[in-house]
Structure formats: structure tokens, C-alpha cells
Amino acid sequence: MLNTMIKKWGCKMKYVVDSKKMKEIDKYTIDVIKIPSLVLMERAALKIVAQVTQYIKKEDRILVVCGPGNNGADGVAAGRILFLQGFQVAILLPFERNNCSKEMQLQLTIAENLGIIINNSCSLIEYNIIIDAIFGIGLSKPIRGELAELISEINRGNYKVFSADIPSGISADTGKVLGTAIKADYTITFGYMKQGLLMYPGADYAGEISLADIGFPGKALTYVGADTFYYTNEDLSKLPMRKKDGHKGTFGKVLIIAGNIGMAGAAYLSAKACYKTGAGMVKVLTAHKNRDIIQTLLPEALFAAYDLDEDLPSIIAWADVIVIGPGLGISEKAEELLSLVLSQNKIPLIIDADALNIMAKNLDGNYISWKERLNKLNAMLPKHTILTPHPMELSRLLGIDLSDISHNIFDIANQCSYNNEIVYVLKDARTFVASAGKKYINISGNNGMATAGSGDVLTGIIAGLMAQKVSFYEAACLGVYIHGLAGDMAAEKTGYYSLMAEDIVEAICGVLSR
């Protein structure tokens, strides 16, 4: 539930950067804008102090553990400010002084001149507050040896731990642990959110994240270019306005092609979520044996059977938005339905679940790489199509091992974003939405949502937004965010263990009425 754990202190728009972009922003700010490095450092230190002092008392004993670079210098500067405020502060520098950066050496000199204790080693048990300023976003290789032992000792102890910019040992790009990493209670990150703080396991190591504006100008971000972002509650303002004189046709017609025999639940969950999100009319095209279930559970829905003598082209033409796949199966009839839907090129389309598996089967063949396979997939799709694969479905679509999905997720999301007419919703603990050169990372939701039917609910939410004329990319981003918020709200009542897909559906109205 990271969404509730990110505090913003005068921060810019909610962009996400990797280590390379953040370094370029820093360099541009210093070299081109001419804001001195020491000014940025002092602002960073003040933000650390503002966070730390919310949680400590005068009798607490603070140890600032510093690395040799500018992350360490931020830590020393914060320690100096705390010392001048009357706190008990010492600095641990487990590095040779002559290996420190110019800024770090200056900060150490200032601290020494003020009488702050600086040690190369010390007993941690003398302290109860740790400020972690060992490594920042530049770390790229695993931490080993004595430093790894020091981090393990901090993690084993009963300390309140604050990390500067990112917990030492966490990759700013992937969120992976580089050998070992600090397990922080609080992380104060500067300027822009780092990818590694949103991705797991980095998000778990970061604790409560405070995003602090330390003076990087928007011009620096524009120069570097940002293509990744996330939503917070204020983005619910993007929801479509409900016309006071609207009628059911005003808010759109959604056709949901779902539910093989014995799989009526998938169709029901998608259809109900679609209605709960505001769609005016929903028609469920499913196996005729599902009629009693659908019409009993959701009498508001129109019904049609794909395995009777129905005029399927007319049913498809009725819709403003089409969903195909939840619980549909991979039978010949399912393939026929998918082929019929793909043959039209005017109605926005969401392809999910079994429809994705059918497409993966049709992609089988010899391809040079998963990127070539992705290009082939894109060529099969009409414009304004959204695909919503979970990791196993994505593995089948791209023809790569499931274990390789998590290792390559940023590369995959980048590649998916190159297409302007197709949106990929790459579902996982951190869902990516990629299209038109942009990547959205979702921070709402929780592990209780890893339950059958949750994906069917998401598909219905996205379809409901599209029916109300939300652009297909924004509908995907906003739909994923609302889905996660509904899961968080539902979990407050049920707990994570007992959360079910229908609980998420019932919580949608609570999210939309905020």
C-alpha cells in the first residue's frame, strides 16, 4: 500500500527517474543552471533533518553512517545541523578520508571544526538512531566484506533507520538488492522518485518514503526528458465528468465477450466492475449455459449467447468498447470470436486472459528475438487496443521464460511503449502501462489482490472508463490505479488473506466517491 506511504514536500509532477537521468538532472542543475552543489547538499540535509526530527527525542543518540561520496556528504551535513540543534550526533566513516569526494571532505572539515565526533569504527549499540548515507543512487555493484557486515549489524539491531535518497545497497534502477541492503524505516529521496524505490524488493526496504524538493529546476528535467510517472490520489480528478442531463447511452456501451461453460464468474466480475465504474450499458456475450447465473447475479446486464444462432457481427457493432478473453477458454469458438473482433478496426478493444493465450498460440514460430515477436503481435492488432497480460501470459506472448520477465521488465516496458496505437498493461506487483513513449508505474494495491478474478475486475474498470470517452492510454493508467485503490480499501475491511475479487468490485464506489 505504498500510495499512502509517499509524502511529498513541495515536489514536482510525479515523474520517476533512473540513476542515469537523476545524475544528468543533477549535472545540468550545477553546470548549466549554476546552482552550486553545496546549495543542493544543504537543502537535502535540511530535508533529512526535517524528517528525522519528527520521530526523535533530545535524549536519542544519532549515528550518521557515511560513504565517501556526495550521499555521505548529505549525511554529514544533516548530522551537523542536528548537532547544532542540540542532538547527540556522531559520524561513522568506514572509508579512507583521502578517498572521499571534494564535497565530502569539506563537510567532514566543517563537522570537525564544530567538535562532532568522526570515527572509522565504533560500537553501534551506543546509538538508537541511524542515518544511512553510505551509498546513493550511483551504486552498481554488490556490497561485500566489512561493509556488508556493517549493514547486516544495522539491520539486526533495534534502531530507527533513516536513509538518504535510497537505502544503501538498493539499485536505483531496478529495486534489486546489490549483495545486501539497509532495511530503512524512512527514506528521504530528493527531487524525483527513483525507479528502485517503487519496484520490489526496493519498495520493502525503503519503508515510508518522503519525496523532497531540494531545488532541481523543471528545466533540468525537460532537458533530460522524463517518460515514466505514477499517480496519487489527486489524479482521481482525471475521472470523466458525469453530465447532469446524460442518459445510459451517454456513458457508453460495453460488450464483454467472456465466460466459457463453468466460467461465468469471470464474465460477471468484469461486467459488474464495468457498471460500477460508470458505463451506461453492458452486454455480456457468453456461453448460453451461463444465462441464469449472469441474469441472476447481474440483472442490469444485457445478455447474448455466442454458442447459439446469434448475429455476432451485429452484436459487436453495437458496442462502443469491446472486452474479450476473461474465462473464455481457447476452443475453436473462442478463436473464431477473437478473429471476428480483430477484423474490425474501429471499436476500442481490450484483450485479456484466454484471448491473450490464443494470440500467443497463433504467434508460435521461429523468431529472432522476443522483440521481433512483439512487433509481429503489434501487427496483428487493430488500433486502440489494450492488452492486459499477467507475467505468465506475457511469457507466452513473448516466447521467453517466466523468470526472464522480471529481469527484463524495464526493457520490455520500454519496447512496448514504442507503439503509439497499442497499450500494454503489464500486470504484476508493480504494474506498468506502456504506450506512446510513456510508462506508468502503479503504486496502489496490495498482495491480497493476488487472487482469482482480480484481473477480470481490472479489465471491467478500464472498459468502463473507455466507454465514458477517457483516452485509451489514460483509461488504462487510471483503471490500474483505481483497481489498486479499491483493493486497498477492501483490504481495510477483509484483511489481505481474505480479500476476494468481488470485494474489490464493491470497493470501487468508495474510491470514485472520494
Annotated binding site for AMP: 427-431, 455
Say how far residue 366 (Cα) sits from the centre of its chain: 33
The residue length of the chain stands at 514
Check if the beta carbon of residue 443 is closer than 8 Å to that of residue 198: yes
Strand locations in 251-410 (E): 253-257, 281-286, 302-305, 321-324, 349-351, 385-387
Grid coordinates representing 197 are: 524505490
**How many beta carbons lie within 10 A of that of residue 285, not counting itself?**
26
Separation between Cα atoms, residue 165 and residue 209, nearest integer Å: 9
Grid coordinates representing 221 are: 528535467
Pick out the residues of the known binding site for K(+): 71, 132, 168
Residue with cell 515510508: 208
Q: Which of 391, 349, 397 is nearest to 373 (CA)?
A: 397
The DSSP 8-state label assigned to residue 373 in this structure reads H
Separation between Cα atoms, residue 296 and residue 171, nearest integer Å: 51
Burial of 131 (0-12, 13-18, 19+ CB in 10 A): buried
Pick out the residues of the known binding site for (6S)-NADPHX: 70-74, 136-142, 165, 266, 327, 390, 456
Kind of pairing between the strands at 117-119 and 302-305: unpaired
**How many beta carbons lie within 10 A of that of residue 372, not counting itself?**
13
Check if the beta carbon of residue 199 is closer than 8 Å to that of residue 430: yes
Check if the beta carbon of residue 256 is closer than 8 Å to that of residue 458: no
- Biggest CA–CA distance in the chain, Å, is 89
Pick out the residues of the known binding site: 70-74, 132, 136-142, 165, 168, 266, 327, 390, 427-431, 455-456
**Amino acid, res. 102:** K
Between the alpha carbon of residue 150 and those of residues 132, 419, 478, the distances in Å are 11, 46, 42
Grid coordinates representing 414 are: 520500454
Say how far residue 373 (Cα) sits from the centre of its chain: 25
Check if the beta carbon of residue 229 is closer than 8 Å to that of residue 440: yes
- DSSP bridge partners of 302: 283
Separation between Cα atoms, residue 154 and residue 168, nearest integer Å: 12
